[in-house]
Amino acid sequence: MRALIYDGQLRLDESLPVPQPQSDQTLLKIRRAGICNTDLELIAGMYGFSGILGHEFVAEVTQGPADLLGKRVVGEINVACTRCDFCEKGIPSQCRHRTTVGIIQHPGAFADYLALAARNLYIVPDEVSDDKAVFVEPLAAALQIIEAVHISPRHRVVVIGLGKLGMLAAQVLKLTGADVLAVVRRQKQAVLLESWGIQPVAVSDLEAQSAQIVVDCTGEASGFADALQLVEPRGTIVLKSTYHGLPQANLTAAVVNEIRVVGSRCGPFDAALRLLKAELVDVESLIEARYPFANALDAVQHASQSSALKVLLDF
Ligand SMILES: [Zn+2]
Ligand SMILES: [Zn+2]
């Protein structure tokens, strides 16, 4: 089979054996996949990753239990041990022994086939197309914001960093009824946000300490600095993107203003599927380009452009 591999360099290998699923695993034939910023960070050498990339995908089950066979599925990316204290608490995404599809010690989905634990799969309803299903993983991550932080319809929420994840976060936050503003620099994003009824703004348009909640999707020190400036005393900053290196920040401001800082990562797949089925979130407008998997290297190149939204791989 073919697979996009990073092992210090990025290459498309066309002669890998199809994986043999273990007893708790299914064999998935990948239908479509999406390139995420995390993939680009792994290719840049973050986390010392080596192996098959990819964690945003929709696939068909070709080997596995009868109730899943032939079904279109998406897969929770954290493969938990089921036995540690976090698994027993019902928080498998923080399993102490987890592997993560295409990120930590688990083969990824940029391949013709992937073997994945059956318990990680969610059947995709017929109403949700392959294009939409590819967004389940990042949409679930966006939903984790409202899992982690109470957001009232009386709150003003500012989203900073309107890339692929930020554009999903803004839409999810809008569903709470809160006053959602999005700090954008690019016209493409501003036009889309306005079409969703979300006001695009510049940081300079906003008064300091005027938001109860700021969601930073930039993954940059400057984003966290902007968040510290915009959040009101006793407000909350949600960190939604991993950072390059060790960003510097004025943490004294966080202490003096008693700011709560909440890290947030993976979220509920079932809820993301419900939102897509009910068409409460527009993901198709975020698709910037699609490439046949044979041209995966070109696709990664395209996704690496700083203005790029979602680039899909078609199998
Ligand atoms: Zn991702
Ligand atoms: Zn565990």
Cα(268)–Cα(282) distance, integer angstroms: 18
**Whole-number pLDDT of residue 246:** 85
Ligand 2: centre distance to CA 214 (Å): 31
Ligand 1: centre distance to CA 213 (Å): 23
Can you list the pairs that 310-313 forms with residues at least 24 positions away whose Cβ atoms lie under 8 Å? Answer: 310/34, 310/35, 310/134, 310/135, 310/164, 310/283, 310/286, 311/34, 311/35, 312/32, 312/33, 312/34, 312/35, 312/131, 312/134, 312/287, 313/32, 313/33, 313/34, 313/35, 313/54, 313/110
Ligand 1: centre distance to CA 63 (Å): 25
**Whole-number pLDDT of residue 244:** 77
Q: Which amino acid is at 34?
A: G
Ligand nearest to the CA of 134: 1
Which two three-digit tokens encode residue 228? 């510290």
**Whole-number pLDDT of residue 213:** 98
**Whole-number pLDDT of residue 242:** 86
Ligand 1: centre distance to CA 253 (Å): 31
Is there a contact between 176 and 242 (Cβ–Cβ < 8 Å)? Answer: no
Ligand 1: centre distance to CA 139 (Å): 10
Ligand 2: centre distance to CA 4 (Å): 28
**Whole-number pLDDT of residue 315:** 97
Ligand nearest to the CA of 108: 1
SS3 of residue 45 by DSSP? coil
Ligand 2: centre distance to CA 77 (Å): 14
Q: Which amino acid is at 39?
A: D
Low-confidence ranges of the chain (pLDDT < 70): none
pTM over 0.85: yes
Is there a contact between 227 and 238 (Cβ–Cβ < 8 Å)? Answer: no
pLDDT tens for 79-122 read 999 999 999 999 999 999 999 999 999 999 999 999 999 999 99
Ligand 2: centre distance to CA 78 (Å): 10
Is there a contact between 266 and 144 (Cβ–Cβ < 8 Å)? Answer: yes
**Taking each helix axis from N to C terminus, what angle separates 187-195 and 164-174, rounded to the nearest 10 degrees?**
20
Ligand 1: centre distance to CA 39 (Å): 7
DSSP 17: P
Ligand 2: centre distance to CA 95 (Å): 4
**What is the chain's mean pLDDT, rounded?**
96
The structure tokens 């319809």 sit at 153
Which two three-digit tokens encode residue 170? 């803004």
| Residue 159, strand partner residues | 182, 215
CA 44 to chain CA mean position, Å: 18
Is there a contact between 139 and 168 (Cβ–Cβ < 8 Å)? Answer: yes
**Whole-number pLDDT of residue 217:** 95
pLDDT tens for 290-306 read 999 999 999 999 999 98
Ligand 1: centre distance to CA 36 (Å): 5
Ligand 1: centre distance to CA 205 (Å): 31
Ligand nearest to the CA of 85: 2
Q: Which domains does the chain have, with CATH numbers?
A: 3-138+267-314 (3.90.180.10), 150-263 (3.40.50.720)
Ligand 1: centre distance to CA 206 (Å): 30
Ligand 1: centre distance to CA 173 (Å): 19
Ligand 1: centre distance to CA 102 (Å): 10
DSSP 156-191: EEEEE--SHHHHHHHHHHHTTT-EEEEE---HHHHH
